[in-house]
Structure 1
Amino acid sequence: MRIVIIGAGEIGFHVAQRLSQEHKDVVVIDKSPEALRRISDHLDVQTILGSGSSPVLLEQAGIQQAKLLLAVTDSDETNLTACLFARALAPELTKLARIRNQEYLHYKSTLTREILNIAHVINPDQEVVLALERMLEVPGAMEVNPFAGGRVKLIGVKVCPDSPLIGVRLMDIPDRYRDNRFIIAAIVRDERLLIPTGPDALRREDVVYFICGGDRVERVLPLFSPCTTKIRNAMIVGGGSVGLLAAKALERKGLSVKLIERDPQRCEKLAGELDKTIVLHGDGSDGDLLQEEGIREIDAFIALTGGEETNVLLSLLAKRLGAAKTITRINKFAYIPLVRAIGLENVISPRISAVHTIFRHVRRGKVISSVFIRGEEAEALEAVAQEKSPIVHKPIKDLRFPKGALILCVIRGEEVIIPDGNSVIRPGDRIVILSIRANISKVERALAVKLEYI
């Protein structure tokens, strides 16, 4: 499967890195010799120096043989031009483009259907706001990943010391909570991700990923984190494009919002575009200002400035001053485990959100969505079970499924099924599978065609 990536920045490098580890045929085009040198020094992929908007270079990259084009440079115009020539050179090619300019996004349907036939327009700002909304809708959650249009949710949460599940073997949980079925998909303990088995038991301070029906979250979450309270208000620091989109989104949710921005002219613009948000001119790192604005009564402090180091310091300050929950915007992938190690567990990243969208289109089989969890040590896939797949027509307990991979949920029509060993997958079912990184290719083959995959 050949994949052409235009742009060797953070997103392009990260996607190329992951694909090269899975032995995909990858070509990266970029105008920067330094960016391509970084690719060549670390990854086993082909690189081409030049503009990805050049039809000559697209042909040189083998665009006619490619299955997927990812246009993820920082230039919207380059990405759009690349998709234009790609459509002319390879009409059947699937194209994804990163677009940030709101003026272009007003014509999203035209770009995706009429002119360029782009399969998906990736807007990192909008993606990160969606992730923020999901996190605030589920108080206490560190991550919220919806599947099947929100009817199923995979949630990451830290186990509180007073959780009734501490010390309980996983095999005993279904009998105790028959009315609220859920599956514990993964446990992060001492910075290691574990795919648990029946005899395993939860410990305090574990980070747990569990899956359940979307309508059951309010009942299941308190089993892990009984001390959580509903988010009623939020304080945002950073009035850039992401901060503005976030404030609008939280207004629509009915939250009371304060937004701090240090640029007075930007404050005037924000005040003119926001209906109910209180816009404050000031420095978000000013502890006196935060205390004057009631940081101790704030349910969610959200650091959304353009500088990730600034966001980390802001969140640490807010946490020290008594904010109940902090959410930190981080761009560099390498920073995320470091930030979590110092106690800032709630992280949102425009680039990670963009990568999740991209990998939905990379996966083989009828994959509908894909998300990485905990530093990409594992991946959750939502896919449609096919007639010729080896996972259908057999009880799950009899499947020769790769070690480190679990079938977490089955969606059959309007029914959400949390399966057990006797559950049988039927063709056309939507299933959610969690797999460790090493076995993703085996899971892909199981979803795609009837092959021996052990």
Structure 2
Amino acid sequence: MKVVIIGAGEVGFHIAKRLAAEAKEVVVVDSSPRALKRISEGVDVQTIEGSGSNPAVLEDAGIRDADIMLAVTDSDEINIVACTFAAALAPGMVTLARIRKDEYLHFQQGRALEMLGIDKAINPDVEVVRAIERLIEIPGAEEINDFAGGRVKFVGYRVAGGPVVGVSMINIRSVLGVPDVIIAAIVREDQLIIPSGTDVIQAGDLVYFVCFADNAQLVMQRMGCPMRQVRNVMIIGGGDIGLRLARSLEGRLHVKLVDSDPDRCQELAQELHKTLVLLGDGRDQDLLAEENIQDMDMAISLTGDEETNILTSLLCRRLGAGKAVTRINKFAYFNLVRAVGIEQIVSPRLAAVNSILQYMRKGKVLSAASIKGDEAEALEAVALAHSDIVGKAIRDLNLPRGALILSIQRGEEVLFPTGDSVIMPDDRILILSTRRNIPRVEKSLTVKLEYF
């Protein structure tokens, strides 16, 4: 597979690093020599200096031989033009563009993408809002992803103590009292563990489990997580994401939105009807106290400045807010902010990466999500009729160590499999795999050549 990436920023760098590690052919295009130098020094990919919106540069990047082009610069316009030229130069190639502005997506009743030669638009702002809504639904979790059309939850929960500490995987279901739950992975002291039946949960572990959506809160409670329903929310930062989130939440929750720009506050007040818009700085302790931050079930810091978001979240927690959700853009900051006590992180760039990953995978992959940075990946895929995984019991699939089948959706029925479960054609399966095993998992999802 050959992939051309337009944009060497955080998203482009992260995607290029992932794909190069999987031995895919990658070409990265950017007009910034500094950004390209960072990539060429850290990743084994080809780099081309120039604008991705220039058809001559796309030709130099070998666009005619590419399978996929990703346009992930910070400019919607450059991404759109790059995809339009790429579609003209290489008909049939898959084009993906990161696009934030709704007016582009809604133009001509949503036909803009087809008209411009774009196969898929990725809007990370929308994905961030969805991620926050999931955290509001299950506020004790650090990470939540939906699969099987929202019927299955893939949840990351930090175990501080409680009844599951010291419990082995073979006994976890009986302790939880929930039959349909699978412990998929454990992160312990920055090490990823794909557990076997003898592994034991320890205090401080970040435990990833899969269960029915209706059981997620129950599983959390049985693990020892106190469930505090979110009713009152304060959003700090009235940019595009803050506005989109407030618009989604108002009417369901009591929402306060804080922004430091008077003109922007006027715009927000006109756009929002049930949200209290406040002019001020989220780092102002007096403002937070005056607005009863201690009564907020969740404080969500969404400004465009990471340092501001980190300081605001720490201050809100110290003043008594129930939970703090923090927007972080730089991947390098993730472990740092968790080390200082900020656990619930949302990232537009990580959201973009997860949205893009499904298109990088061979086989009919429907969705993908990274866990623990990029050490592992959860893939939801359709079991193709003549692929290696169909017609065999799971115990006979010869999956590599570090790859687990977590759920099977067959029509309207969702199953949590055992070793005797057999995958049938057109089943939707959820697979967790470590990064190094992704190529083997991809191979198992594709149709064997002798059937062509």
TM range (shorter): over 0.9
Q: Equivalent residue of 2:250, what SS?
A: helix
Q: What is the one-letter code of the residue matched to 2:340? A: I
Question: 1:23 matched to which residue of 2?
Answer: 23
Question: 1:249 matched to which residue of 2?
Answer: 248
Checking the alignment, whether the CA contact within 8 Å between 1:80 and 1:97 is kept in structure 2 is yes
Q: Equivalent residue of 1:136, what SS?
A: helix
Question: 1:78 matched to which residue of 2?
Answer: 78
Q: Equivalent residue of 2:92, what SS?
A: coil
Question: 2:403 matched to which residue of 1?
Answer: 405
Question: 1:129 matched to which residue of 2?
Answer: 129
Alignment of 1:321-336 (within 5 A): 321-336=319-334
Checking the alignment, whether the CA contact within 8 Å between 1:27 and 1:61 is kept in structure 2 is yes
Q: How far 1:337 moved relative to its partner?
A: 1.1
Q: How far 1:143 moved relative to its partner?
A: 0.8
Question: 1:270 matched to which residue of 2?
Answer: 268
Q: How far 1:101 moved relative to its partner?
A: 2.3
Checking the alignment, whether the CA contact within 8 Å between 2:84 and 2:118 is kept in structure 1 is no
Q: What is the one-letter code of the residue matched to 1:368? A: L
Question: 1:440 matched to which residue of 2?
Answer: 438
C-alpha separation in 2, matches of 1:232 and 1:73: 37
C-alpha separation in 1, matches of 2:208 and 2:98: 30
C-alpha separation in 2, matches of 1:342 and 1:449: 47
Q: Equivalent residue of 1:236, what SS?
A: strand
Q: How far 1:401 moved relative to its partner?
A: 0.7
C-alpha separation in 2, matches of 1:53 and 1:306: 26
Checking the alignment, whether the CA contact within 8 Å between 2:299 and 2:313 is kept in structure 1 is yes
Question: 2:236 matched to which residue of 1?
Answer: 237
What number of residue pairs does the alignment pair up? Answer: 448
Q: What is the one-letter code of the residue matched to 1:305? A: T
Question: 2:43 matched to which residue of 1?
Answer: 43
Query: How far does the alpha carbon of each residue in 1:325-379 deviate from its partner, in whole angstroms, 9 at most, with x for none?
Result: 0000000011011111111010000000000011110001111111001111111
C-alpha separation in 2, matches of 1:68 and 1:277: 42
Q: How far 1:226 moved relative to its partner?
A: 3.5
Alignment of 1:335-350 (within 5 A): 335-350=333-348
Query: How far does the alpha carbon of each residue in 1:371-430 deviate from its partner, in whole angstroms, 9 at most, with x for none?
Result: 001111111000111222222222212221101111111111111101111111111111
Query: How far does the alpha carbon of each residue in 1:80-127 deviate from its partner, in whole angstroms, 9 at most, with x for none?
Result: 1111111111110111001122321322721223x1242211122222
C-alpha separation in 1, matches of 2:178 and 2:124: 38
- Counterpart selection for 1:258 from 256, 259, 283: 256
Q: Equivalent residue of 1:188, what SS?
A: strand
Q: How far 1:444 moved relative to its partner?
A: 0.8
Q: Equivalent residue of 1:212, what SS?
A: strand
Alignment of 1:177-326 (within 5 A): 180-252=179-251, 254-326=252-324
Q: Equivalent residue of 1:168, what SS?
A: coil
Q: What is the one-letter code of the residue matched to 1:307? A: D
Q: What is the one-letter code of the residue matched to 1:278? A: L
Question: 2:112 matched to which residue of 1?
Answer: 111
Checking the alignment, whether the CA contact within 8 Å between 1:7 and 1:29 is kept in structure 2 is yes
In the superposition, relative to structure 1, how do residues 78 and 369 fare at CA in structure 2: closer, same or farther (>3 Å)?
A: same
Q: How far 1:175 moved relative to its partner?
A: 4.5
In the superposition, relative to structure 1, how do residues 177 and 327 fare at CA in structure 2: closer, same or farther (>3 Å)?
A: closer
Checking the alignment, whether the CA contact within 8 Å between 2:384 and 2:390 is kept in structure 1 is yes
Checking the alignment, whether the CA contact within 8 Å between 1:180 and 1:216 is kept in structure 2 is no
In the superposition, relative to structure 1, how do residues 177 and 295 fare at CA in structure 2: closer, same or farther (>3 Å)?
A: closer
C-alpha separation in 2, matches of 1:16 and 1:258: 39
Question: 1:4 matched to which residue of 2?
Answer: 4
Q: What is the one-letter code of the residue matched to 1:124? A: P
C-alpha separation in 2, matches of 1:344 and 1:153: 22
Q: Equivalent residue of 1:411, what SS?
A: strand
C-alpha separation in 2, matches of 1:312 and 1:220: 30
C-alpha separation in 1, matches of 2:27 and 2:382: 29
Q: Equivalent residue of 1:51, what SS?
A: coil
Checking the alignment, whether the CA contact within 8 Å between 1:180 and 1:220 is kept in structure 2 is no
C-alpha separation in 2, matches of 1:224 and 1:188: 16
Checking the alignment, whether the CA contact within 8 Å between 2:80 and 2:118 is kept in structure 1 is no
Larger CA deviation: 303-312 vs 200-209: 200-209
Question: 2:362 matched to which residue of 1?
Answer: 364
Query: How far does the alpha carbon of each residue in 1:258-293 deviate from its partner, in whole angstroms, 9 at most, with x for none?
Result: 111111111111111111111111111111211111
Question: 2:351 matched to which residue of 1?
Answer: 353
1:88 aligns with 2:88: yes
Q: How far 1:179 moved relative to its partner?
A: 5.0
C-alpha separation in 1, matches of 2:327 and 2:21: 27
Q: Equivalent residue of 1:139, what SS?
A: coil
Q: Equivalent residue of 1:14, what SS?
A: helix
C-alpha separation in 2, matches of 1:413 and 1:102: 34
Checking the alignment, whether the CA contact within 8 Å between 1:150 and 1:214 is kept in structure 2 is yes
C-alpha separation in 2, matches of 1:182 and 1:450: 32
Alignment of 1:130-169 (within 5 A): 130-162=130-162, 164-169=163-168
RMSD (CA atoms): 1.5
Checking the alignment, whether the CA contact within 8 Å between 1:337 and 1:375 is kept in structure 2 is no
C-alpha separation in 2, matches of 1:240 and 1:215: 33
C-alpha separation in 1, matches of 2:390 and 2:170: 24
C-alpha separation in 2, matches of 1:371 and 1:387: 24
Question: 2:373 matched to which residue of 1?
Answer: 375
Unmatched 5+ stretches in structure 1:
none
TM-score, normalised with respect to structure 2: 0.96
TM-score, normalised with respect to structure 1: 0.95
Q: Equivalent residue of 2:142, what SS?
A: strand
Query: How far does the alpha carbon of each residue in 1:134-166 deviate from its partner, in whole angstroms, 9 at most, with x for none?
Result: 11111211111001220111011112423x222
Q: How far 1:191 moved relative to its partner?
A: 2.2
Unmatched 5+ stretches in structure 2:
none
Checking the alignment, whether the CA contact within 8 Å between 1:2 and 1:68 is kept in structure 2 is yes
C-alpha separation in 2, matches of 1:405 and 1:65: 32
Checking the alignment, whether the CA contact within 8 Å between 1:160 and 1:224 is kept in structure 2 is no
Q: What is the one-letter code of the residue matched to 2:113? A: T
